[in-house]
Copies of this chain bind each other. A is one copy, B any other.
Amino acid sequence: MDRQKIKEAGLKLTPQRLAILDYLRDNLEHPSAEDIYKAILERFPTMSFATVYNTLETLREKGAIQELTIDPQKKRFDPNPRPHHHLICNRCKKILDIHIDYQLHVPEEKKNGFEIVGNHIEFYGICPGCRLKMSGMQS
């Protein structure tokens, strides 16, 4: 989301918002609110944690980002609002994009009257880094 789009969404152009959006732009790490807060604190020491949450919620409302519920411990944020899938490392919780368009048809008789509007696939696995650490230790 650029300055143009922020205004179009009826949002004020604050330094905090710009810092958060700047941090998220092209970010593929799916950071948590705390990740974002800590990263920005270094260059923006007056940033409040509450503002991070406020801003993320505002951006989500406007459809500029999405909230991921993949990590059981905390919400993770994705600056790419377009539907795509994810691969998560069971060990370190690293999240990677999977851009593949699967055709997931659900026959009417399995919908139980639901109106389906979307889907999201979580792939589970072990990342290369964790695999290395694991080989050479037990369990």
Contact = CB atoms under 8 A, between A and B. Distances in A.
Contacts of A100: 106, 110
Contacts of A119: 121-124
Interface in A96-133: 96, 98-100, 102, 104, 106, 110-128, 131
Contacts of A90: 117
Copies of this chain per assembly: 2
Contacts of A116: 87, 123-125
A87 B125 CA distance: 22
Interface residues of A, number: 36
28 contacts: A67-B72, A69-B69, A69-B70, A69-B72, A72-B75, A96-B112, A99-B110, A100-B106, A100-B110, A102-B102, A102-B104, A104-B121, A106-B123, A111-B125, A113-B127, A114-B125, A114-B126, A114-B127, A114-B128, A115-B125, A115-B126, A116-B123, A116-B124, A118-B124, A118-B125, A119-B122, A120-B122, A122-B122
